[in-house]
Amino acid sequence: MTIWQRLSGLLTLRLSAVLTLIALALMVWSMLEPTPLPVMLAMTVGQGIGILAFGIYIFIVVRELLRELRRARPRDPS
């Protein structure tokens, strides 16, 4: 079993949700205090974390979908 298969979907999605909250906090901070540090952090670290979180979500959902398709496929009688 690979590390990808071992990753629990629910746990990883929780991590993704927490990362998204951090990214959103950085983005909102840059809008409430538009000075160089918050704006640059939001446009680099904030968006990077957001993309990572969305990537995790896509990965988990696609993996679940593939599992469902595999389960639904009729078994070979031989």
Chain residues in the site for another protein (CB under 8 A): 9-10, 13-14, 16-18, 20-21, 23-24, 27-28, 30-32, 34-37, 39-40, 42-43, 46-47, 50, 53-54, 57, 61, 64
User: 50 is written with which tokens?
Assistant: 């957001």
User: 71 is written with which tokens?
Assistant: 């389960």
Q: Which is nearer to another protein, 35 or 78 (CB)?
A: 35
Smallest gap from Cβ 78 to another protein, in A, equals 34
In angstroms, the CA 73 to CA 18 distance is 35
What's the Cα-to-Cα distance from 38 to each of 21, 31, 46, 64, rounded to whole Å? Answer: 16, 8, 10, 37
Smallest gap from Cβ 7 to another protein, in A, equals 13
Smallest gap from Cβ 61 to another protein, in A, equals 6
Q: Which is nearer to another protein, 63 or 75 (CB)?
A: 63
In angstroms, the CA 37 to CA 46 distance is 12
